[in-house]
Structure 1
């Protein structure tokens, strides 16, 4: 017996009539819409004050924003992110010889990520987007290796000072390191290796060694103004 059948006492059933046809009163507003938006300036919004309020505005998807607009071409077929080993194997991550301008770019981007972390974002979404920090001991470039190790020690110092002060809320500062330490890398699944830890004294010594090496390169390349300028900027980053 179907749900749409009526049952009578004499055992007979009479099916219900067909559902009434639904008529929608759709109105085509395409031409009116394009007519009115011609008067809008960049950043202005056309909306219905009764159907579109603050809540709808806060939960709306911002078009042309790659983080929110899944229909953008740049979000279609994005390659899977590579880890340190995969990026090195694919030739997308240099761990040996780098130009001074390349190292300056890496250092500037890393410092910008540290600032974002201090503004309340997580380390995983800021500082540790730098693949060089995932395995600093695997970097063959001595300057970049010393810099990455120094970044780890800097993060430890910042966390230690803020945690001791106990003057922050969860939305103000996120101290969680997500398993990243000099002696371990959560991506590889390796257990913690204390032999890979570097003391602050050794870290300072590594930086001083690279400082002397950069000073020597500045003197040797004094005839080439462009190279000397890059190396001097690199020296100031590591100093």
Structure 2
């Protein structure tokens, strides 16, 4: 390693132009040095300092991993830059069918991220890895996605507030640090009202799809979600399932109302609660 240092010390290390420098920091490209060091290492060998221990290894950074190495070259360097270059488009597509499909993908992704957060990961690496959550204003023209994102954000805020007030959790149970993330946004107090309005619109569309006599009225009075009439009913059901899922935690208090909204019987209702873990 001494030979590598001497060889590299004879010439100036080039500054990588693709990474912007700060007021007190300058980024330098050390890729060639790292490649040379890796070539000298055999399988099972580890290069470390004199104070290295196994405990420190648990929090060691992994070079070239974008999630851990802040100097890793990425496509964008800020949320605003990513949005400017089209990373979070609204509408998601000018094709209505594709727009609905992508909306469902985002809803599923956010639900998976929220479940991962509940298992101990941070909000920044899970739910708020979605640009639509970081910039609530950009979804305002997309009623479906806007209402869902507002509910997800409000749910996370409610969980953080409740868990923080009880003071009975450890970081391994639920990571409540928000690091300045936009958990509270103006209008979130009306998120359920917005969600119900969108839900009612899609529910009317679904009822109309099931009625042969109403198909003409649907075309005239209710704008379809997408362009393919054969897929309309399936998309309506898929969206309603995802929009109604946030209502499940309050099912015990409003059982009768919830069953009516979900359109299911008591037996199916109890089975649903048992599947999601609210009843033994």
Q: TM-score range by the shorter chain?
A: 0.5 to 0.7
Q: Which residue of 1 aligns with 2:127?
A: 127
Residue 97 of structure 1 and its aligned partner are, at CA, apart by: 5.3
Q: Which residue of 2 aligns with 1:115?
A: 115
Q: Which has the larger share of helix?
A: 2
**C-alpha distance in structure 2 between counterparts of 1:124 and 1:63, whole Å:** 20
| Pairing of 1:133-148 with structure 2 (within 5 A) | 133-139=133-139, 140-148=141-149
Q: Which residue of 1 aligns with 2:159?
A: 158
| SS of structure 2 residue aligned to 1:116 | helix
Worse overlay, 115-124 or 161-170? 161-170
Classify 1:64/1:157 alpha carbon distance in 2 versus 1 (closer, same or farther; 3 Å).
closer
Paired positions, count: 171
Matched, 1:80 2:68: no
Kept in 2: contact 1:117–1:174 (CA 8 A) = yes
Q: Which residue of 1 aligns with 2:203?
A: 215
Kept in 2: contact 1:122–1:176 (CA 8 A) = yes
Q: Which residue of 1 aligns with 2:231?
A: 226
Q: With structure 1 as the length reference, what TM-score do the two structures score? A: 0.58
Residue 78 of structure 1 and its aligned partner are, at CA, apart by: 3.4
Worse overlay, 175-184 or 160-169? 175-184
Q: RMSD between aligned alpha carbons?
A: 3.5
The structure with the largest alpha-carbon Rg is: 1
Q: For residues 59-112 of structure 1, what are the alpha-carbon distances to aligned partners after superposition, in whole Å with 9 as ceiling and x for unaligned?
A: 79999988689xxxxx985322451x4334323322235522111111111111
Matched, 1:236 2:241: yes
| SS of structure 1 residue aligned to 2:188 | coil
**C-alpha distance in structure 2 between counterparts of 1:105 and 1:176, whole Å:** 27
Residue 182 of structure 1 and its aligned partner are, at CA, apart by: 5.4
| SS of structure 2 residue aligned to 1:215 | helix
Kept in 2: contact 1:88–1:95 (CA 8 A) = no
Q: For residues 163-208 of structure 1, what are the alpha-carbon distances to aligned partners after superposition, in whole Å with 9 as ceiling and x for unaligned?
A: 2332211333211112123556xxxxxxxxxxx2431xx2211111
Q: Which runs of 5+ in 1 are unaligned?
A: 1-32, 34-45, 49-53, 70-74, 185-195
**C-alpha distance in structure 2 between counterparts of 1:133 and 1:238, whole Å:** 16
Kept in 1: contact 2:134–2:181 (CA 8 A) = yes
Residue 221 of structure 1 and its aligned partner are, at CA, apart by: 4.9
Q: Which residue of 2 aligns with 1:175?
A: 176
Q: Which runs of 5+ in 2 are unaligned?
A: 1-41, 46-52, 94-98, 211-227, 245-280
Q: Which residue of 2 aligns with 1:12?
A: none
Q: With structure 2 as the length reference, what TM-score do the two structures score? A: 0.51
